[in-house]
Amino acid sequence: MSAISLPKLPAIASSAIAMEVFNGLTERPKTLSPWLFYDQAGSRLFEAITELPEYYVTRTERQILAKHAAEIIAAAAGGCDLSITELGAGTATKTGLLLNAAVAQQGSVTYYPIDVSETALEDARTRLESEMPEVTVEPIVADYTEGMRQNNAAGAGRRLVLYIGSSIGNFSPADALDVLRGVRAQLSPGDSLLLGTDMVKDTRMLLAAYDDAAGVTARFNMNMLVRINRELDASFNPHLFRHQARWNEQHSRIEMHLESLLAQKVTVRALDLQVRFSLGETIHTENSYKFTDQRAVALLTRAGFKLQQQWSDPNKWFTVYLAAAN
């Protein structure tokens, strides 16, 4: 009897990206997870998105923080000294507003940015410590769960945890609840969470924010295919796919898809995988949930927080919630 010979796959075939691509492209409908956006080129494209005229999200949240930073810090501190922790901090561009307010109120502050990207955290540390000598930056290179555990173990005193930038919107409602419950589990009474959520609004405005005229979001979406080509030796031709943004009313979310412009076959050589696409078939790459006040407050409450105060821009496009761990 002859032994069955299995095809030899390269070591990359057991990596996180390989698992994601194999599972996502063999299921129906096809999906790819949004973390795949953020290689070096994708992170740069995301920074460019935050500057687009159509992408009101970052600008609007920054306006809210600029106007209310002192109030936010005073409410979170409740007369004590605070440390500030940030989830998914990246380069921490909006955080300076809150750190400044904390320095104004208590003279100095320790800032614990948590992110999986060591380079983004080092950039943030260099920039913040040179601009604000009263801020001590203690980067934590980890995912949220492990990062919050380390932060808790560091004995950071009374804590304000920032989860801003509408990042919570990229999780399904069930996963968002898990994330916030995980944060809550590492907090003590008196600590608080500042959550930034993007709100439901005019559909045309939402669609424009995720399908801008300059095509930056299209390139951001398409970059996933370029990354898979490079890292898994795949044969995607990005010109044979089209970026699509859809509003899903039932789930209150913007969806991003990559639509196949013809019937085609793509090979992912590192996985020894052939993927067939029919004309118009899509890969679902991202959900960006949009909130109502009621849904945001229900999420916080179910996660074990008590709403303390909230701030919005005059158009109510974006809301920042301060919630206490109780």
Structure tokens at 159: 């804590």
CA geometry: angle 203, 208, 213, nearest 5 deg: 160
At residue 320, the 3 state secondary structure works out as: strand
Would you say 217 or 319 has its CB closer to ligand AVI? 217
Q: Among 288, 308, 310, 319, which residue interacts with ligand AVI (rule: CB under 6 A)?
A: 288
25-64 residues in contact with ligand AVI (CB under 6 A) are: 49, 57
Would you say 210 or 317 has its CB closer to ligand AVI? 210
Pairing between strand 318-325 and 192-198?
Answer: antiparallel
Under a CB-based contact definition with an 8 Å cutoff, are residues 304 and 325 in contact? yes
Would you say 24 or 165 has its CB closer to ligand AVI? 165
Pairing between strand 253-260 and 282-289?
Answer: antiparallel
For the bound state, the minimum distance from the C-beta of residue 291 to ligand AVI, rounded and expressed in Å, comes to 12
First to last CA, the chain: 67
Place of tokens 């609007």: 60
Residue nearest to ligand AVI (CB): 288
Q: Build a one-symbol-per-residue string for 229-268: x at contacts with ligand AVI by CB under 6 A, - elsewhere.
A: ----------------------------------------
Structure tokens at 81: 């000294």
192-231 residues in contact with ligand AVI (CB under 6 A) are: 210, 217
Under a CB-based contact definition with an 8 Å cutoff, are residues 102 and 76 in contact? no
Would you say 167 or 308 has its CB closer to ligand AVI? 167
Under a CB-based contact definition with an 8 Å cutoff, are residues 304 and 161 in contact? no
Would you say 210 or 291 has its CB closer to ligand AVI? 210
Instruction: Answer yes or no whether residue 166 interacts with ligand AVI by CB under 6 A.
Output: yes
**Residue ranges in contact with ligand AVI by CB under 6 A:** 49, 57, 165-167, 169-170, 210, 217, 286, 288
